[in-house]
Structure 1
Amino acid sequence: MPKPQGIQGEPEGRNRTRLAGQAFASTMAFKPNIDRLKPMLYPSTRGHCPPVRLDEALRAGLAPDGGLYVPERIPGLEAATGIPGPDLSATAERVLAPFFADSSLAEDLPRITREALDLPLPIVEFNPGKSWMLELFHGPTAAFKDFAARFLAACLSRLRAEHEPVQTVLVATSGDTGGAVAAAFHRRPGFRVVILYPDGKVSARQAHQLGAFGDNVHCFRVQGNFDDCQRLVKRALNTPELASALALTSANSISIGRLLPQISYYAHSVSQLSAQIAQKVNLIIPTGNLGNALGAVLARAMGIPIGEIRLATNANRTLPDYFGGEDYRGRPGIATLANAMDVGDPSNFERLAWLYREADLRDSGIHAGSVTDEQIRRAIRRAWNEQGLMVCPHTACALELLRQQREVGDDRPWMVAATAHAAKFENVVEPLIEQTIEAPPALAALLERPSHAEDLEPDEDALATRLRALA
């Protein structure tokens, strides 16, 4: 069998195609160097509280008005910036520097990127000259979220003074976020992690991984879906007394600290590949809460040679329906084989709408498609039989959209974001490819450890009680 070769906002329910404010589209031009040195502030998407510096936005996670922090402008990248750098951490330092302007972390940014982003980032070609896969799953928990979680942990640990109380990192997860955050903050002095995941709606290995860290990591099985978990986190962060008593922050993709590093791996990989093929690179990105895809959107806005961006969803059709012409309508999540994307009301849509608040989001070169469970199964089989690729159900959604593009004659270069290692979903993938999937060493080590999680009702008071008991 051939083996692939590697190469180095607003209230829900509104129509948010057009929103008032400065046009995001106008920020896409390159900026002069002086713009990169100007202080960067972070307003809320809802505009009901003053803009803050990055330090405060990182600490808080969520804005006081319930909105998400966003950069006030999108800095451009000139050719002299030197993108890509010799490795991901060097690229990240250059790309992210303007976002850190006026932050107390600005001087530490080179050390932060070296500490957090020293991870493999292979690009695998599987259709010569036409199709590539960006493997984002070579971190300690075998998922793309390792990049951002490690970066956020490196930032928050530097922002916390020794005399300050222990900070509680509260995170909702549909599978991979919780493990990445747990690994990034495990045994890190001055922090405790509280993970909420929907009981029975993550894979068995994901659930085991979430409860296997122990020490300063506490895990709760919520009797509900991911949207319930996400709601509990947001309500806790927006309860001033509770947030203050526990020094609460979030490590979900609602945190600006999760979003920024995701810009860097698209900047690095796309610039590298584009230089080789002398064309813009189109992206297909599996998405649930829209955080990973938003990193690509921002990278493109800064001037990285990204063409079209396609969002691959499972049977949760909120985004495909919106980009297909319907009003935005959040809805309950539907359980699918691609469980990490079982999101019915993606939080980061509010950021996306804010960025395009005076432009037409449906005319932005962003599209979305929905993939059924049966299509996921066929895509997993096809990837193995035709390309020798073992892919997770989420990556399979992206491969199915790519197949559909090729079927209608699209011959452009496309890169698919592979978001998790297939071994995390062995109960789905192994029967389809009739092969045993070996777990990566770090995941295998976690699976050998005992795992513990407590039951939790999807109730704000119940969560508050548990959180206070940990303090």
Structure 2
Amino acid sequence: MKLYNLKDHHEEVNFAYAIKLGLGKKQGLFFPKKLPKFNSQELQELTQMDFINRSANILSHFISDEISLQNLKIQVKNAFSFTPPILHMVEKNIACLELFHGPTLAFKDFGARFMANMLSYWNDQDDSMTILTATSGDTGAAVAHAFYCMNNIRVVILFPKGKISRLQEKLFCTLGKNIHTIAIDGSFDDCQSLVKQAFNDKKLRKKIGLNSANSINISRLLAQICYYFEAFALIPHHQQENIVISVPCGNFGNLTAGLLAKAIGLPIKSFIAATNSNDTIPRYLKNGIWAPYKTMSTISNAMDISQPNNWPRVEELFSKQKWNLKSLGYGSVSDQETIHTLKKLHHIGYISEPHAAIAYQLLKKQLSPQDFGLFLGTAHPTKFQNTIEKILNIKLKLPKSLEKRANLPNFSHHMKPNFLKLKNFLLQL
């Protein structure tokens, strides 16, 4: 599989190298030079497979020249060794695709664990690597658990201090060993800026074997394509013609994966890019002006991102496919509207959390009567226990994976958003 750098098209790498490198020159994102395409017969064959075999077959069409299907199936089985996505009907023509039944109760488990398994498969055991990543909530836990106790791999996770939920923090700040977490005084964008500065430092990058497990890493995106095909297989056949998918968006990796699924043959009618009050993309799609505001803290904290890193991939895909960007649905939802939607969902019998509620709210507004609507459930409601219990006036029971970490000591460091301090920290590991 050949990938090119969006900021320097002359830089081309294969999939294995792209995983290890993370970003290309000038901090450019890697993008597939050529996309596979499934015809209707191949799509029908895929839908009849189970999740593991289907996922391995889809991924093999991207990277079959670098790994055999047999070996890829082993890696996929190891990565996706948890409950597959669940389709939960919420209304007659609206369902939630629940992606939060993995070890850290978030959709990020799919991408992070696939990346970890593929890195382990290709990485020379004598090579030392440092994974540096920023999280606005769920990425941190997924990456930490995916790489926990892996030989020769150190993980450093930056997160905005006081701006993720207590239980989100407990999931990845209580591990220790090769997992190092740093609470940064600032926003997610400040954390991501530090990551970018680290990648710009060529000497540092080489000395510590720097890599990133954010959705900027192409392996994360390819893994996420798989659950869109699973969703299609789960939807009743008579409702597969007019599917509209609403995606809660932060760094826009999840939406990028969905659009890639459509590009390679999944017959999705349209997508909705759903954001909270950090609405850079909805405003850009409306008026064509790129004008990020200062990031605001909301109750949907994983979406508190004003400068989404994956947006260049979205624009590149629309350009390559000759799609009109105006065909992409969009919208933003305030905290007040989110609270109202959470109550509305609870009233009709579904307990959700803020991110999925935003996707549902915009889907409900934009869905035509003949369409089948799907909104993505990206995190388990209990990860936002205090918020949900207060809004809905209910008591949530914690899943075992959260319960056993809820009272463990926090091993996090604390730092101002200062690159020199971060650099010294990385060099001393």
**Matched-pair identity in %:** 33
Give, in angstroms, the shift of residue 329 of structure 1: 2.8
Question: Aligned equivalents of 1:448 and 1:331: distance in 2?
Answer: 36
Matched, 1:190 2:152: yes
Question: Aligned equivalents of 1:107 and 1:329: distance in 2?
Answer: 47
Aligned to 1:460: 419
Give, in angstroms, the shift of residue 57 of structure 1: 0.3
Amino acid at match of 1:252: N
CA-to-aligned-CA distance 1:50-73 (integer Å, 9 cap, x gap): 200101100011112211011112
Aligned to 2:74: 111
- Which runs of structure 2 are paired with 1:375-414 in the superposition (5 Å)? 375-386=337-348, 388-405=349-366, 410-414=369-373
Aligned to 1:418: 377
Give, in angstroms, the shift of residue 93 of structure 1: 0.9
In structure 1, stretches of 5+ residues that fail to align are: 1-39
Question: Aligned equivalents of 1:410 and 1:66: distance in 2?
Answer: 44
Secondary structure at the aligned position of 1:357 is classed as helix
Give, in angstroms, the shift of residue 139 of structure 1: 0.5
- Which runs of structure 2 are paired with 1:231-246 in the superposition (5 Å)? 231-246=193-208
Give, in angstroms, the shift of residue 309 of structure 1: 0.1
Give, in angstroms, the shift of residue 80 of structure 1: 3.0
The 8 Å contact of residues 294 and 352 in structure 1, kept in 2 or not, is answered as: yes
What TM-score, normalized to structure 1?
0.87
- CA separation of 1:92/1:464 partners in 2, compared to 1, >3 Å: closer, same or farther? same
Number of corresponding residues = 426
- Which runs of structure 2 are paired with 1:3-14 in the superposition (5 Å)? none
RMSD: 1.7
Amino acid at match of 2:261: A
Aligned to 2:405: 446
Question: Aligned equivalents of 2:222 and 2:71: distance in 1?
Answer: 15
- CA separation of 1:71/1:359 partners in 2, compared to 1, >3 Å: closer, same or farther? closer
Amino acid at match of 1:176: D
Amino acid at match of 1:125: M
Question: Aligned equivalents of 2:68 and 2:415: distance in 1?
Answer: 37
Secondary structure at the aligned position of 1:253 is classed as coil
Question: Aligned equivalents of 1:177 and 1:116: distance in 2?
Answer: 16
CA-to-aligned-CA distance 1:213-242 (integer Å, 9 cap, x gap): 111100000111000111111221221111
In structure 2, stretches of 5+ residues that fail to align are: none
CA-to-aligned-CA distance 1:327-346 (integer Å, 9 cap, x gap): 22333321111000000000
Question: Aligned equivalents of 1:94 and 1:274: distance in 2?
Answer: 22
Question: Aligned equivalents of 1:332 and 1:49: distance in 2?
Answer: 34
Question: Aligned equivalents of 1:332 and 1:401: distance in 2?
Answer: 23
Aligned to 1:86: 49
Aligned to 1:126: 90
Give, in angstroms, the shift of residue 467 of structure 1: 0.4
The 8 Å contact of residues 125 and 151 in structure 2, kept in 1 or not, is answered as: no
Amino acid at match of 2:228: Y
Pick from 175, 181, 196 the counterpart of residue 137 of structure 2. 175
- Which runs of structure 2 are paired with 1:44-443 in the superposition (5 Å)? 44-47=5-8, 49-78=10-39, 79-80=41-42, 82-104=45-67, 108-120=71-83, 121-128=85-92, 130-164=93-127, 166-273=128-235, 275-357=237-319, 362-363=324-325, 365-386=327-348, 388-405=349-366, 410-443=369-402
Question: Aligned equivalents of 1:310 and 1:360: distance in 2?
Answer: 18
Question: Aligned equivalents of 2:82 and 2:413: distance in 1?
Answer: 32
CA-to-aligned-CA distance 1:11-46 (integer Å, 9 cap, x gap): xxxxxxxxxxxxxxxxxxxxxxxxxxxxx2000111
What TM-score, normalized to structure 2?
0.95
Question: Aligned equivalents of 1:246 and 1:105: distance in 2?
Answer: 30
- CA separation of 1:464/1:359 partners in 2, compared to 1, >3 Å: closer, same or farther? same
Question: Aligned equivalents of 2:159 and 2:68: distance in 1?
Answer: 31
Secondary structure at the aligned position of 2:232 is classed as helix
Question: Aligned equivalents of 1:64 and 1:261: distance in 2?
Answer: 24
Secondary structure at the aligned position of 1:43 is classed as strand
The 8 Å contact of residues 48 and 233 in structure 2, kept in 1 or not, is answered as: no
The 8 Å contact of residues 55 and 104 in structure 1, kept in 2 or not, is answered as: no
